Amino acid sequence: MSIPVLYEDEWVCIVDKPEKMQTHSTSIDKMTHNLVDTLKDQMNERYYPVHRLDRGTSGILMLAKNKQHVSSLQNALQNLPHKKKYVAIVRGQTGKSGIIVREMEDAYSNKIQFSKSTYLRLEKLEAKIPNRPHPTTFFSFVELEPLTGRTHQLRRHMAKISRPIVGDMEYGDFNLNKFFRAELDDLHLYLHAETLSFWHPYLKEQMLLSAPVPNYFNAFKEYCLHHP
């Protein structure tokens, strides 16, 4: 599998991470082919992740071309002007826009941390799905922006407001996920890192990059159109 490169200079490489691919190997799973190793094979160069995306999440991922550049680039994504925006399909109808603020337990340290995200509804969807509480099930195509960077933040936030992301096997609607796995011949996590804006610490300019929304988002919308 070839990794699409969205931008590259002498300090940074920004790619469009495919879904269902780990960012890098872990102590638990060293065998599964991951993005860092795949990119090394593809580019004949070692890259160092500046941040992470969950295995199921697709979209924009930044990597440093030198280990010494990681901290400067991480600082750009934490303390300098930046925006990360995602798109997702969630179960249920959201409001037009909203802010989600939660105290969340960190998955690794168990510490309670403040977290904040925003959402903007882009499109309403609905489909007839058997064995559901109502004849029609509503969905929302939304833009999400994490204003803090907690583990699984967007997935947990949407689940907390009873609008779980379709395809989320940890925080989502398991019966609905099972249905779409059968109907669409596969199950995707409908969460995609679409745009990244950040201050480049070496070029000293604001950068804006985007990654195209995967085709399976359109396939989901088509399913809704044909099962009103």
**Which residues are tagged catalytic?**
54
Pairing of strands 5-8, 58-64: unpaired
Q: How far apart are CA 196 and CA 193, in angstroms?
A: 8
Per the CB < 8 A criterion, the answer to whether 42 and 5 are in contact is no
List all residues 6 or more positions away from 47 whose beta carbon is below 8 Å from its beta carbon. Answer: 13, 36, 39, 40, 63, 64, 65
Nearest to 183 by CA among 146, 153, 216, 135: 216
User: Over 122-173, what HEC string results?
Assistant: EEEEEEECCCCCCCEEEEEEEEEEECCCCCCHHHHHHHHCCCCECCCCCCCC
DSSP class per residue in 64-84: ESSGGGHHHHHHHHHTSSEEE
